[in-house]
Amino acid sequence: FQVLSSLGYHVVTFDYRGWGDSIGSPSERGMTYDALHVFDWIKARSGDNPVYIWGHSLGTGVATNLVRRLCERETPPDALILESPFTNIREEARSHPFSIYRYFPGFDWFFLDPITTSGIKFANDENVKYISCSLLILHAEDDPVVPFHLGKKLYNIAATSRSFRDYKVQFVPFHTDLGYRHKYIYRSPELPRILREFLGKSEHEHRH
């Protein structure tokens, strides 16, 4: 948030239902609804300013669910940024022994509550086929939580999808030697430049 704020962006974020100070219990449908509600709240107040959606880790599933719905109702955001994304929750689960999940924020309920597991997909790979806006994917090669190959696979699906044919789709890997793993990409001194170049182009596309 501090990196984005230092670049002049306003950042609006929230606790999903069941986390932090938010009441209720988490579900894929409920978390997606919450994100949609926040987006509409922002759009009602942001005037002509561009609005970008940023999802990290589990949040990439919420983000693509949200943006797919926004595109289907013809109110797309100006760009979508996915940091450390997976393809879908089943592939992510198959990539690791379950012990790794104690390091994956928010997944306790997914594995510990058998009622919650039914019907959870977070299908980023399906959603990107219905998304029409600029897409940036950021992934560290040494990510121990969401394997790098899942982020690259998601990019390949998006890059060949007809829905993105008029939009920029970019994949930025971060080398293992940098040590950014699952949640330290924000430390990259290159990140401001990457964002300025990507978002500058997406704003140009949006205007024309």
Catalytic (active-site) positions: 57, 143, 182
Instruction: Provide, for the chain, the percentages of residues in helix, strand and coil under a 3-state DSSP scheme, each rounded to the nearest 5.
Output: 50, 10, 40
Return d(Cα 158, Cα 203) in angstroms, integer. 20
Return d(Cα 167, Cα 145) in angstroms, integer. 29
Closest by CA position to 173, among listed 150, 205, 204: 150
Q: Which residues contact 181 (CB under 8 A, 6 or more apart)?
A: 140, 142, 143, 144, 145
Return d(Cα 157, Cα 126) in angstroms, integer. 9
